[in-house]
Amino acid sequence: MRELTYKDALNEALFQVMKADERVFCIGEDIGVYGGAFGVTAGLIEEFGEERVVDTPISEAGIAGACVGSAVTGMRPVGEIQFMDFVTISMEQLVLQAAKIRFMFGGKATVPMVLRMPGGSGTGAAAQHSESLENWFVHVPGLKVVMPSSPYDAKGLLLAAIEDDNPVIFIEHKLLYKTKGHVPEEMYTVPLSDTKVVREGRDITVVATSIMVNRALEAAEQLAAEGIEVEIIDPRTLNPLDEEPIIRSVIKTGRALIVHEAVKTGGYGGELVSRIMESEAFDYLDAPIRRLAGLDIPIPYNRTLEYHTVPQIESIVSEVKRIVRGEV
């Protein structure tokens, strides 16, 4: 089976869609000759030129604003925010404009834009370059929020996001760029709002996002050796959420653990707990639902402290054991 890295899967998606649709262009800081901070846009400017691969000044508000304006007037922009943390400067354009235009114009105007952003910790980039802010955007009606965890999903979800007539926040974890997986050469899409059962199990449901899916899979292998079978669910699209596979899984296993990197307070895990508790799955629970998330602190620069700030494989293993053994 053909394998690509997560980064190359995204790059291939951009090459293919830009060849297929002249309305698609990329815009962001250092995305041209430099190829993007993490190499996702490498080679695009040589293929498509400066009019479709636009290097911008250091202005995240300008990048987001240009995406909104060009999308409303018929283009399909793919913007890049160099680090997710910097999207804070784009919030007016995203929250007050992009998210509301289609609704306020009764559907007569659409905003088919994608804003890509690398998020998460693990690179030793400290507090201003390591955040996971996805739940800010989940909270805003009108924005779709996508977090692919595999190269296959990265390509398919990006192509689906570019096709969508709504603004899509597309979050790529920095530690996933070098991971490899099966990626078909042809263009394909993964539907937005299509939750995936990544691993079948009988004892507990682990709902994980982004890189935590990979860590949960490794934890599941360790737990299987001890007779604990973990079912792993990846929402892939946080908003709108396809909740039915999650509900069915919890009904089957009777236990649930939510794992994400963002801080626990106000994090996406709280929303998932509420969805489960408000569903028919409540009657099947054999243990309290638990959340495993980042500590409520800025990400430290020190690599050892950074490691212990967010969930790791060993903490997932430990928490699953506690829930399955009835220690919570």
Hey, what domains does the chain have and what are their CATH numbers? 3-182 (3.40.50.970), 196-324 (3.40.50.920)
Regarding beta strands 168-173 and 114-119, do their DSSP bridges make them parallel or antiparallel, or are they unpaired? parallel
Contact 71, 42 (CB under 8 A): no
pLDDT in tens, the chain (328 residues): 899 999 999 999 999 999 999 999 999 999 999 999 999 999 999 999 999 999 999 999 999 999 999 999 999 999 999 999 999 999 999 999 999 999 999 999 999 999 999 999 999 999 999 999 999 999 999 999 999 999 999 999 999 999 999 999 999 999 999 999 999 999 999 999 999 999 999 999 999 999 999 999 999 999 999 999 999 999 999 999 999 999 999 999 999 999 999 999 999 999 999 999 999 999 999 999 999 999 999 999 999 999 999 999 999 999 999 999 998 7
CA separation for the pair 88, 127 (Å, rounded): 14
Where in the sequence numbering do the catalytic residues fall? 129
Please give the pLDDT value at position 328: 78
Contacts of 158 (CB under 8 A, 6+ apart): 10, 13, 14, 114, 116, 148, 170
Distances (CA, A) of 231 to 185, 198, 246, 258: 29, 8, 10, 12
Please give the pLDDT value at position 170: 98
∠ at Cα 89 (84, 93), nearest 5°?
105
Burial readout 200-239 (b: 16 or more C-beta within 10 A, e: otherwise): ebebbbbbbbbbbbbbbbebbeebeeeebebbbbbbbbbb
Please give the pLDDT value at position 202: 98
Task: Give the H or E element holding residue 135.
Answer: helix 134-138
Please give the pLDDT value at position 12: 98
CA separation for the pair 123, 303 (Å, rounded): 8
Q: Closest Cα to residue 24, out of 42, 40, 48, 43? A: 48
How many secondary structure helices (H) and strands (E) does the chain include?
12, 14
Please give the pLDDT value at position 1: 85
